[in-house]
Amino acid sequence: MSAIVKQPDPITACLIIIGNEILSGRTQDANLAIVGKKCDTLGIRLTEARVIADVEADIVETVNTCRRLFTYVFTTGGIGPTHDDITAAAIARAFNVEVVRNKEAVNAMDRYYEPRRLTDARLKMADIPEGARLIDNPVSGAPGFQLENVFVLPGVPSIMDAMFDGLTDRLVGGDPILTDNVTTNLLESEIAAGLGVLQEKYPDVSMGSYPYFRKGKLGVNLVLRGTDAGRMNAAADELATTIMRLKGKVLNR
């Protein structure tokens, strides 16, 4: 047996946001922030997100690239009933399987919709890649699905949010990633050196610096991320001390 203790590989995820409306700037994506926060809680590092168009070849290539690079891949968008909802077909092509009408999905939608309202258009949402495991939709009936490490979710944020919460027993994460922030009226250039010194002292606490310009006032939001609450608190306290030493104000503690 080796005496070297292997560092466990970090558990990573990529979010693929599918939809022309996000790329064109017409619709503001809200799913990245939701998935980012949920991944933190689960101890999964969301290390990338990609926004792509409703184009089958792009979806196939992006899904096939990402499912090999990341522990988990989540997709949002494109699983509704209209002609531009091509995600299920594209995912099937990526996995080289057929799309079939899924009986379990039909039953789930049948329970949700009144009789006679489960129209042909709605039934399209039960056409799902063969072999996929369904993801329950407690809000509007039509399920998402999972194939291997790829989880296919809808684009409407409130529905996506509720469906993601049903996945927690399928996702194996690590220690929850904690986050804290310290806001100051100092400029980024004024805090830069002191922050750099603290980052070296706390290599296990990631420190990010985000300038803002709000209501005519400049300042910086300093964000700490890590998995050890004690180290996070110590770093935040030292950061506040550094700010006061530089004659700045700590605005949020």
In the complex, which residues of this chain contact its own copies (CB under 8 A)?
19-30, 32-37, 40, 46-55, 58, 80-85, 119-122, 124, 155-156, 158-159, 177, 179, 181, 188-193, 195-196, 199, 206-213, 223, 225
Least separation, in Å, of the C-beta of 240 and its own copies?
17
Least separation, in Å, of the C-beta of 3 and its own copies?
29
Least separation, in Å, of the C-beta of 1 and its own copies?
31
Nearer to its own copies, 131 or 218 (CB): 218
Nearer to its own copies, 136 or 180 (CB): 180
Residues 78-106: b if buried by 16+ CB within 10 A, e if exposed: bbbeeeebbbbbbbbbbbeeebeebeebb
Least separation, in Å, of the C-beta of 233 and its own copies?
18
β-partners of residue 127 are: 101
Nearer to its own copies, 7 or 82 (CB): 82
Which residues, including other chains, have CB under 8 Å from residue 228's CB and lie 6 or more apart? 178, 204, 205
Nearer to its own copies, 98 or 210 (CB): 210
In angstroms, the CA 230 to CA 42 distance is 19
Nearer to its own copies, 21 or 136 (CB): 21
Least separation, in Å, of the C-beta of 239 and its own copies?
12
Least separation, in Å, of the C-beta of 2 and its own copies?
26
Nearer to its own copies, 12 or 149 (CB): 12
